[in-house]
Structure 1
């Protein structure tokens, strides 16, 4: 919105005029400042927007014309002879005539009419300025044409495309503006005549793909054209907006070459998620053709793959697992945005890479780092990691087991027999405690950990059952029949109890079982009151 102050200068011997002027209703967003001079002076000819002359005295004719502001309004006030004299001196440089004697209401009404006219001119100018600024701020080509096809208004982008100024373009047609040869114009080639006729015939906005011959060679445009209607409903002309997609289409050709030569499966979609293209590798991998995929919604197509997300999701990268041919395949989808020459997002390119073998190797490496190579049980280092992540506020029970006579087996039958004993012990513990976390702490020492509530009596019963199973398993192997096992049990009712403290309790209970001859189970009793 604009706000404007009008300076009204009155040259008169009467105060009547100033009073009548100040009674006039001022238009919205306007204010007025009124000053009265007794005679016409250089000062009264400066800094005014509206001048009311009640006769001219004290200044020469050439000074009057020289002093009048070019864009200001002048009102002549006087009797018939005075007005004739004023008209002779000023020529056509006046806006209105007020003939004496004038009624107060007449002056007020005529001034209000003039103020509204000034406001209308101001509104028209600001609207025109808004339109020109908006049009020149848009990078697309914009033009208005009359019913004959003459260009009435264009923006700066249009001028740059044709290499001409707005003044040079105004009122001219395609033949001149685009520097077309007569035969080209006659054929309608590169002229867009057919599309103009279609808009005028259909009387609605239409979208066209048009090729235009410009000073920079042939250009491809996406063009919107709309009819302009008069108050009587008749078409007065058209308005057009053209978006240059030449570079984008060239990029599409280059992208196609790159797509087809890439060793990865690649999919291209637009900003609405509609699939535009896929490469040969994608067709081979998913068993679909480019024709089948074109036009499909990307999310709908992905949903039909019957996939599930893995736990490896990052920004710009999606990893899914799908079932094909009865096997699970893990796919990594990496997405990159595609922008046009105006930095507008026009789509995305999705690169699909199978990482099944890679993930399997990672899992194997992770498993190896967490487990004991010989027995496959969890190792001491992972025991602490697991407890830190999973214990939370749960109570804890530990069964510490050690084999009796293990060194003698190694010394007598060799390390191979000792390894067999360790493996046999591991499998037996897993079978007896499938719900527990079983760890090989080192050598022939093992730890069975149970998180959550567990009755001590039940725990002792299960531990005793483990000893029986161990004895039974060892007795079936001649080299190991002399082996037995000892167990120490410790529990903590305090969910915040230190892991190493409970482990030390179970080790103390195991030591007591060993002292009592082995092959038995002991409980660290003091832990019951902790």
Structure 2
């Protein structure tokens, strides 16, 4: 329930008036703060809920009300023996001066009761509006003449009118019907209202209504509204649209048939109750071959080991159709009745072959160097971090010698071709390794696990010979050679950048010592095996 703090401002009143009002106990769900001001100010008026004017008022009441909070109560204290000012009657209450003992408190208590009554009425009205607007069924209240007093949002949606437009209007206007059209049709709304008013009890009816969505079938429940003397003063109605329920099977078949993916419905016994044409097409079936079969048995026999669970928990299956493979994403949804009991399951089979191909292509492109087809620097870090674990790790860092001269002499196209040739040589010599282009003419070979340094040196020497042989046969690349830096660790706490820096140090020593060779970190004298 609500709780409200009323701000009471007295203008010109003496201390006795404030004291008498303070003695009045707040009503339920209310509290009040009382302050006295020597004169009227715009600031104090703008924040008060009750303004008591115990001084001459020079402004018309309507001007004062325009300054006050919306809904504020304005009280004027005056000696009635002197007569009322011309605008005194516009105030919400008149308190007679001089005050007899207890009179101000009495009038103040009545004022609080009136305010509480307004707040309670507004609160109850808001609760009613919130309640009926949260219901998907149509709800309305009418007086005995048939004028609509209150409707909910669902009602407005059905008739295509606003609440303000509906309020106070009758059946023909709201439903856009002419009287002769109503009399010639099958509509019975007005007759059922008369039955409820006459019998003074709740009744249920099946009614047809012409709405903005076309002719609709409603199950309606109508009840009389009584006053305190048990006299009928109106009716309340609730209408549930059952048009779609009556057409559900037909519409379901139409919907299922129009879906761009396969649909299968399993009943509570586990049997296949319905499938659409797309499903039959996917699996090359006739309805008689699948309807009534146990779904789990059919799935095992048809999909078997072709199903897999993706990282996000979804199921996918690969099937053959018309000589090609198709990937189907399978989604399961429970079908429940109004009592939340599971009465079946709905399965959708969606062709995601193209999506998966695009995803794979995007993933490949994001991990691959466009020119050489090797992995790129970003994926190099991702791969090593993911696969290293507690295993030993070895980096073979390769840099082309005289690559800038090839670019400067023969152009960047020749340089690009040299990089492609180098990538092919690396793949040929290390088919079992992870190879990446770090950028420019720098390449990295990553060996995880079994990578004894003696074997690595032997393979590095063989790689250098193959590079020299390949480059020497090409008229544009005969000045090229390769330099290699090697670094290895068995300590999993040594990070990638540290090991990469160590291999780069070894590579620098090769460059400093004449190129076309390899070095191993920590540095030692080494020459290429003969």
**Normalising by the residue count of structure 1, what TM-score does the alignment of the two structures yield?**
0.51
Matched-pair contact (CA < 8 Å) for 1:313–1:319: no
1:268 and 2:271 are equivalent in the alignment: no
Deviation digits for residues 362-397 of structure 1, max 9, x if unmatched?
111111111111111111111111122111111111
- Per the alignment, residue 349 of structure 2 pairs with 352
Cα distance in 1 between the residues matched to 2:249 and 2:311 = 30
Picking from 299, 307, 310, the partner of 1:309 is: 307
Greater mean deviation of Cα atoms: 302-311 or 376-385: 302-311
* Superposed CA RMSD: 2.4
CA offsets 1:280-305 (integer angstroms, 9 cap, x no match): 12122221111211011222222233
Bigger CA drift: 301-310 or 404-413? 301-310
Q: Does the residue aligned with 1:478 lie in a helix, a strand or coil?
A: coil
Secondary structure in structure 2 of the residue aligned to 1:378: coil
Q: Could you say which residue in structure 1 is the equivalent of 2:405?
A: 408
* Partner deviation per Cα, 1:7-56 (whole Å, 9 max, x = no partner): xxxxxxxxxxxxxxxxxxxxxxxxxxxxxxxxxxxxxxxxxxxxxxxxxx
**Kept after mapping to 2: 8 A contact 1:265/1:282:** yes
CA distance in structure 1 between the partners assigned to 2:284 and 2:334 by the alignment: 26
Q: Are positions 1:294 and 2:282 aligned together? A: no
How many Å separate the matches in 1 of 2:280 and 2:318?
19
Change (3 A) 1:520 1:314: closer
For residues 526 and 410 of structure 1, do their structure 2 counterparts lie closer, same or farther at Cα, with a shift above 3 Å needed? closer
SS at match of 1:479: coil
**In the alignment, structure 1 residue 424 sits paired with structure 2 residue 392:** no
Give the superposition deviation at 1:471. 1.3
In the aligned structure 2, how far is the partner of 1:406 from the partner of 1:311?
48
Query: Within 1, Cα distance between the matches of 2:514 and 2:497?
Result: 26
What is the distance in 2 between the residues matched to 1:489 and 1:342?
70
SS in 2 for 1:401: strand
Partner of 1:382: 379
- Deviation for aligned residue 1:311: 5.1
CA distance in 2, matches of 1:350, 1:276: 11
Do the aligned partners of 2:394 and 2:486 also contact (CA within 8 Å) in 1? yes
Inter-partner Cα distance in structure 2 for 1:421 and 1:284: 51
1:138-194, Cα deviation, whole Å (9 max, x unpaired): xxxxxxxxxxxxxxxxxxxxxxxxxxxxxxxxxxxxxxxxxxxxxxxxxxxxxxxxx
**Secondary structure of residue in 2 paired with 1:343:** coil
Write the mapping of 1:118-517 to structure 2, written as runs, cut at 5 A. Answer: 251-306=248-303, 307-310=305-308, 312=310, 314=312, 317-517=314-514
Is this contact kept in 2: 1:429–1:466, CA < 8 A? yes
Matched-pair contact (CA < 8 Å) for 1:488–1:513: yes
Deviation at 1:462, TM superposition (A): 0.3
TM-score of the pair, normalised by structure 2: 0.51
Give me the whole-angstrom Cα distance separating, in 1, the residues matched to 2:336 and 2:274: 16
Query: Does the Cα contact within 8 Å between 1:266 and 1:349 map onto a contact in 2?
Result: yes
**Does the CA contact (< 8 Å) of 2:267 and 2:345 recur in 1?**
yes
User: Contact 1:400/1:487 (CA < 8 Å) preserved in 2?
Assistant: yes
- Indicate the SS of the match to 1:487: strand
1:208-260: CA deviation from partner (whole Å, max 9, x where unpaired) = xxxxxx9979xxxxxxxxxxxxxxxxxxxxxxxxxxxx998864443222111
Give, in angstroms, the shift of residue 499 of structure 1: 1.4
Measured in 1, the distance between the counterparts of 2:309 and 2:365 equals 20
User: For 2:456 and 2:450, how far apart are their aligned partners in 1?
Assistant: 11
- Preserved CA contact (<8 Å) 2:270 2:295: yes
Give distance in 1, aligned partners of 2:503 and 2:311: 42
SS at structure 2 position matched to 1:332:
strand
Query: Equivalent residue of 2:346, what SS?
Result: strand
Map Cα deviations across residues 260-317 of structure 1 (whole Å, 9 max, x no partner).
12222111111232111111121222211112110112222222334523452545x4
Give runs of aligned pairs for residues 97-108 of structure 1, distance below 5 A.
Answer: none
Identify unmatched segments of 5+ residues in structure 2. Answer: 1-203, 208-242, 525-530
Structure 1: tracts of 5 or more residues without a match: 1-213, 218-245
CA distance in 2, matches of 1:252, 1:342: 21
Instruction: Give the greater-gyration-radius structure (CA).
Output: 1
Tell me the CA shift for residue 409 of structure 1. Answer: 0.5
- Over 3 Å counting, the alpha-carbon distance change for 1:310 and 1:479 in structure 2 is farther
- Distance, in Å, in 2 between the alignment partners of 1:404 and 1:313 is 45
Inter-CA distance 382–293: structure 2 relative to 1 (3 Å threshold):
same
**Number of equivalent positions:** 285
Q: Is the 8 A contact 1:339 1:345 kept in 2?
A: yes
2 CA distance for matches of 1:314 and 1:262? Answer: 24
8 Å Cα contact 1:248-1:341 kept in structure 2: no
Offset at 1:330?
0.9
CA spacing shift, 1:270–1:367, aligned 2, 3 Å: same
Residue 424 of structure 1 and its aligned partner are, at CA, apart by: 0.9
Contact 2:283 2:321 in 1 (8 A): no
1:405, 1:251 → 2: CA distance?
A: 77
Contact kept, 8 Å, 1:248 with 1:340, in 2: the verdict is no
